[in-house]
Structure 1
Amino acid sequence: MIITLSIQLVAGMYAEEAWACELEIEDTMSLHDLHDAIQQAVGFDNDHMYSFFISRKETGSERIHFDGEEYSLDADIASLFPLPKGKKLFYWFDFGDDWIFQVSKSRKKPGAAQPGRQYPWVASETGSKPEQYKGYDPEAEDEW
């Protein structure tokens, strides 16, 4: 089955404008797969560590991390929802620049995959994609 997730940029070193997308994915995907899908959707280089956590808010001190005990990064996405009452799912990428995205399950009903469509699929997008390395010029690095 295909489910729709809402991905919303919450914070990041260079987060200047709002960005969000609706991402259609197979409900059997793992959080590792979701990480790759978000990287593609936002257009980042997949070059840093990442994590998922559950909390009331992105800066919450009582985070439930996916460490393999209660929650695993290998779990099917569908098995995570519904989340515990009052909690949200967050994706944290690049622990230095602290890109944080909130991941929510859409109210759209799960459905069959569309013939010929590759999943994950960005169904809609709002705002401007953030620049992962604002002001970075890789060609200038070669001049050193």
Structure 2
Amino acid sequence: MIITLSIKLVAGMYAETEWASELEIVDSVSLYDLHDAIQGAVGFDNDHMYSFFISRQEFGSERIHFDGEEFSLDDDIASLFPLPKGKKLFYWFDFGDDWIFQVAKSRKKPREPQPGRHYPFVTTETGSKPVQYKGYDPEDKDEW
């Protein structure tokens, strides 16, 4: 089945504007696959470590990480929802620049895949995509 997730940028070193996206994705994919889908939606280079965690807020001290004890990155997305009361799912990318995205399941009902559509599929996007490396020019060899 296809579910719709809302992905919202909530923090990051260069997070100067708001950005959010709705993403249709197969409910049986793992968090590894969701990581790749978010990277594609936001347009980042997939070149840093990442984590998913459940917490009341993005900088909360009581985080439940997906380290294989209670939850694992192999878990399928459908098994995560509904989240425990008062908790939210977050995706944390690049532990230096601290890009944090809130991931929520929309109220849209799960449905069958549309023929010919490749998933994950971005249905809507609001705001401006953040610039992953502000001031970095990949063509400037002297910069590194």
- Give, as a single letter, the amino acid of the residue that structure 1 aligns with 2:64: I
Question: For 1:26-48, what per-residue CA distance to the aligned partner results, in whole angstroms no more than 9, with x for missing partners?
Answer: 00010000000000000000000
When the two structures are aligned, how many residues end up with a matched partner?
144
- Give, as a single letter, the amino acid of the residue that structure 2 aligns with 1:46: N
- 1:97 match: 97
Equivalent residues in 2 for 1:114-129, closer than 5 Å:
114-129=114-129
- Per-residue deviation at 1:119? 0.1
- Per-residue deviation at 1:143? 7.1
- 1:137 match: 137
- Per-residue deviation at 1:130? 0.2
Does structure 1 residue 86 correspond to structure 2 residue 111? no
For structure 1, the residue ranges without an aligned partner over 5 or more in a row are none
- 2:54 match: 54
Partner Cα separation in structure 2 for residue 134 and residue 143 of structure 1: 13
TM-score computed with the length of structure 1 as normaliser: 0.98
Question: For 1:59-111, what per-residue CA distance to the aligned partner results, in whole angstroms no more than 9, with x for missing partners?
Answer: 00000000101101000100000000000000000000000000000000000
- Give, as a single letter, the amino acid of the residue that structure 1 aligns with 2:33: D
- 1:106 match: 106
Partner Cα separation in structure 2 for residue 52 and residue 113 of structure 1: 26
Does structure 1 residue 10 correspond to structure 2 residue 10? yes
Other structure's SS at 1:138 match: coil
**Runs ≥4 in structure 1, deviation > 2 angstroms?**
141-144
TM-score computed with the length of structure 2 as normaliser: 0.98
For structure 2, the residue ranges without an aligned partner over 5 or more in a row are none
Partner Cα separation in structure 2 for residue 7 and residue 140 of structure 1: 32
The Cα RMSD (Å) is 1.0
Partner Cα separation in structure 1 for residue 143 and residue 7 of structure 2: 38
Partner Cα separation in structure 2 for residue 119 and residue 103 of structure 1: 17
